[in-house]
Amino acid sequence: MSRKRKGRDSYKICEYCHERVPSYKAFSTYRRGIKIYLCPDCAKRRGIRVKHAYQQGKPRFRRRSR
C-alpha cells in the first residue's frame, strides 16, 4: 500500500517558464478548453488575476436544510 507522501504530488508545472510551483500558489486558467497552470510571476506578468474558490462565493459546504 503506497501512500501519497505529503507535498510530493502537489506541484504544478508552469506553462510558460516550466517552473515547479506548489499547487496552492499556482494560478489555473482555461485556454481554449484545456487547463493550464501559471506560476505567480507569470500570472502577474500576463495580468491574470485568478480568484480562489473561497473568494468566488462558491458553495462548498451547504447547510443541510431540515
Count Cβ neighbours within 10 Å for each residue of 29-48 and write b for 16 or more, e otherwise: eeeeeeebbbbeebbeeeee
For the chain, residues with pLDDT lower than 50 are none
pTM (predicted TM-score): 0.45
Establish if 2 belongs to a structural domain.
Answer: no
User: How many structural domains is the chain composed of?
Assistant: 1
Establish if 36 belongs to a structural domain.
Answer: yes
Establish if 40 belongs to a structural domain.
Answer: yes
pLDDT at position 14: 82
pLDDT at position 45: 77
Residue ranges making up the domain that contains 18: 11-45
pLDDT at position 41: 80
18-33 pLDDT, tens digit each: 778 877 777 777 777 7
pLDDT at position 15: 79
